[in-house]
């Protein structure tokens, strides 16, 4: 591999064997190097492959301003998330999470407090990612001697979930709000009838998370089994008013028409969480 551009003493741009642009990081990797110089593979600590040139360009610009030790701790956090979740995570997280953590550290150093308005929701809906966020805060404190507030664990969790789903952060926040608002509608209709400690409630939340994903990517669940759908509506008629309100809310806020199949699944889940 050869240098195509030098970002700083520790980061250079090159191309892989498929002529795809890559960002390479390693101690002294760019020191006294010139365009066209050969890169020793033993010096490369991390290789970043972004999905397009624009993202690579943004990553380059970001890395020129961020201390290398912060970049390295973000690498460790992302690798820990990958190892823990055992899921595909979009590599654009190297841009989004590194940028976020750098900014979070700067806020702490300036004494600027920042609260996460979705802390409760994120802990409830994305608990595994939230736990990773808490570990990340511990890693940052241990290696960088910076104590981030616990709210940051939820922000880190959102970036991880965003990379899992390959959505942008605005969509991720909107999805979280949608799930929470639907739960509020259900709570308004049934209140104390809901067993929030039951396995059915956990399954309902999981269903709502996937439902919210389908809403924001425009994917629909359809079925021709209208007879079964009608049976559900008649059998669980006490849930229909609640489900209809959810339907109207989603249409109003997301401009999305919930299919009869989706309404049937929502009805079944609501019935389960309200039956003690």
pTM reported for the whole predicted model: 0.68
Residue 35 to residues 5, 28, 43: CA-CA distances in angstroms?
6, 15, 17
Say what the pLDDT of residue 172 is.
Answer: 78
Say what the pLDDT of residue 220 is.
Answer: 65
**CB of 185 closer than 8 Å to CB of 245:** yes
Say what the pLDDT of residue 251 is.
Answer: 93
Helix (H, G, I), strand (E, B) or coil at 32: coil
Say what the pLDDT of residue 56 is.
Answer: 78
Question: What are the tens digits of pLDDT across the range 90-131?
Answer: 888 888 899 999 999 999 999 887 888 778 778 877 889 999
Which option is the CATH number for 178-273: 1.10.10.410, 1.10.8.10, 1.10.1790.10, 1.20.1370.20?
Answer: 1.10.1790.10
What are the residue boundaries of the structural domains of the chain, listed by start?
5-50, 68-166, 178-273
Say what the pLDDT of residue 197 is.
Answer: 82
Tokens representing residue 84 in the block = 């823990």
**What residue ranges of the chain have pLDDT lower than 50?**
none
Helix (H, G, I), strand (E, B) or coil at 275: coil
Q: Could you give the CA distance from residue 82 to residue 256 in angstroms, rounded to a whole number?
A: 33
Domains 68-166 and 178-273 share a fold: yes
What is the dihedral sign for C-alpha 209, 97, 171, 187? positive
Q: Could you give the CA distance from residue 16 to residue 10 in angstroms, rounded to a whole number?
A: 18
Strands (E), the chain: 5-8, 11-15, 21-25, 46-48
């Amino acid at each position: 591999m050869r240098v195509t551009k030098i970002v700083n003493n520790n980061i250079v741009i090159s191309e892989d064997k498929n002529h795809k642009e890559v960002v390479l990081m390693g101690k002294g990797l760019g020191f006294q190097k010139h365009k066209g110089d050969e890169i020793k593979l033993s010096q490369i600590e991390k290789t970043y492959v972004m999905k397009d040139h624009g993202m690579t360009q943004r990553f380059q610009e970001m890395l020129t301003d961020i201390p290398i030790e912060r970049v390295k701790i973000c690498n460790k956090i992302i690798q820990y998330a990958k190892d823990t979740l055992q899921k595909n995570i979009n590599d654009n997280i190297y841009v989004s999470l590194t940028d976020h953590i750098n900014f979070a550290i700067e806020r702490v150093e300036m004494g600027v407090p920042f609260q996460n308005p979705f802390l409760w929701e994120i802990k409830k809906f994305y608990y595994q990612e939230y736990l990773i966020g808490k570990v990340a805060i511990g890693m940052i404190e241990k290696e960088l001697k910076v104590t981030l507030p616990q709210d940051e664990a939820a922000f880190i969790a959102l970036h991880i979930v965003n990379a899992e789903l390959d959505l942008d952060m605005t969509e991720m926040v909107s999805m979280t709000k949608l799930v929470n608002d639907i739960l509020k509608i259900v709570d308004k209709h049934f209140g104390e009838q809901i067993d929030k400690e039951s396995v059915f409630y956990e399954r309902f939340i999981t269903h709502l998370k996937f439902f919210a994903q389908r809403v924001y990517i425009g994917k629909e669940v359809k079925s021709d089994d209208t007879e079964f759908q009608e049976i559900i509506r008649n059998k669980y008629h006490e849930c229909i008013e609640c489900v209809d309100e959810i339907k109207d809310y989603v249409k109003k806020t997301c401009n999305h028409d919930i299919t009869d199949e989706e309404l049937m699944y929502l009805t079944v889940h609501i019935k389960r969480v309200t039956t003690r």
